[in-house]
Amino acid sequence: MELQQVKQRFGIIGNAPLLNRALEVAVQVAPTDISVLVTGESGTGKEIIPQVIHQLSSRKHGEYIAVNCGAIPEGTIDSELFGHEKGSFTGASGSRKGYFEVADGGTIFLDEVAELPMQTQVRLLRVLETGEFIRVGSSKAIKTDVRVVAATNENMQQAITSGKFREDLFYRLSTVPIPLPPLRNRQEDIHLIFRKFASDFGDKYRMPAIRLTPDAVQLLNDYSWPGNIRQLKNLVEQISVIETSREIDAQIFLNYLPAERDRSPAIIDSSRESINERELMYKFLFDMKKDLTDLKKLVIEILANNGTVDLSRDQETMINRFYEDVQPPANTKILPPAKSDESYSISRTQEENYETHEEVEESLSLEDREKELIKKALTKHKGRRKYAAAELGISERTLYRKIKEYNLTD
């Protein structure tokens, strides 16, 4: 079956290379009985792949059962998967078939498989290796012919290292791994998916579909979408219901975008500083500059008093702090700060070599500095926000907000 036909049949939208590759592998392995492990972040649509595999396989007329392993309590999951005998535990008033028995000849989709308890992992490993399982409270082995497709949003290597997941089970499940890309890596698809959801919700609520202005489309593509397709769908529904205008500009769209949370280490570009880190750096430099200015004023006061002066407590504190913050060269000899009953002195030769000058105070406002940096970046890149944002080490969305906040024109 052609890839485009698969997309139309299962309602899959997008042409991103990573998405196409995942579908190609799913179509290729569907006719076999190989176990498949689908990986990807939460909300990427991992549940579609098992449906594609089942419907394109010879088992399509058999049972297809999807099990959310994280939603079943640990005390009952063995009974749910493998069944139980009457009286095997409190409340077991009769025998019950488990999913592996019901789905004989079909497919079981184990979603969030990393949440399985260790005891259940042992039972699952036996099913995959021998095709046999034992009901809870029984000693009789039951045969089953089930295709297992699993999915997880966890880092399985970390789960194995921490002892949360069995390594042998991982290799049995992931005979064929199929990774699904996050939405932020499918930028060419984001607006297409948005329009599909907008059309669906327009029909559902019997109103015209919302549409985005070009600047709102830019924000849509620049946002990281930590919740992936599920988050995008939720946002489109919110806007469709709440907004009376059917044309959504960037300012309206910003109201529905939550602040971007910290990304995982695999996504973060460690070579770029956040704007907060820059602000802290500037504050530290300004504080040091102020200390240097105060120190210069003190030296001038010493000179004006014929080389000696008594230090106040605040001046002692300032000098002590300066000594702690600034490390001098190794070959420099520094006299310790004076105690309250001592005084600093400076020789006449040093006084003659010292040139006094007028100190010009600069603005220490972080807001002013931030404005200045943004203006310089916009000027440097001729108003192109994308490159200005990269220069500043912030997202284009943050830059857009700052321009509005400071009433800047680019």
The residues spanned by each domain of the chain are: 3-181, 184-254, 277-353, 365-406
- Per-residue DSSP letters for 174-232? TSEEEE---GGG-HHHHHHHHHHHHHHHHHHTTSPPPEE-HHHHHHHHHS--TTHHHHH
Q: How far is CA 21 from the centre of its chain?
A: 23
Range 254-264 average pLDDT: 70
The answer to whether residue 345 scores a pLDDT higher than 70 is no
41: three-class secondary structure by DSSP = coil
Whether 337 contacts 316, CB under 8 Å: yes
Q: H or E segment at 152?
A: strand 147-152
- Per-residue DSSP letters for 88-112? SSTT--S-B--HHHHTTTSEEEEET
The answer to whether residue 91 scores a pLDDT higher than 90 is no
Average pLDDT taken over every residue of the chain:
82
The answer to whether residue 194 scores a pLDDT higher than 50 is yes
Residue with tokens 């300012």: 251
Q: Which fold has domain 3-181?
A: Rossmann fold (3.40.50)
- pLDDT confidence tier of residue 336, bands split at 50, 70 and 90: low
Range 163-170 average pLDDT: 96
pLDDT of res. 332:
45
pLDDT of res. 266:
38
- The amino acid at residue 192 is L
DSSP state of 321: H
The answer to whether residue 188 scores a pLDDT higher than 80 is yes
The whole-model pTM stands at 0.63
Given this structure, which CATH class describes domain 184-254? mainly alpha
Tell which CATH classification among 2.60.120, 2.40.50, 1.10.10, 3.30.450 matches the domain 365-406: 1.10.10
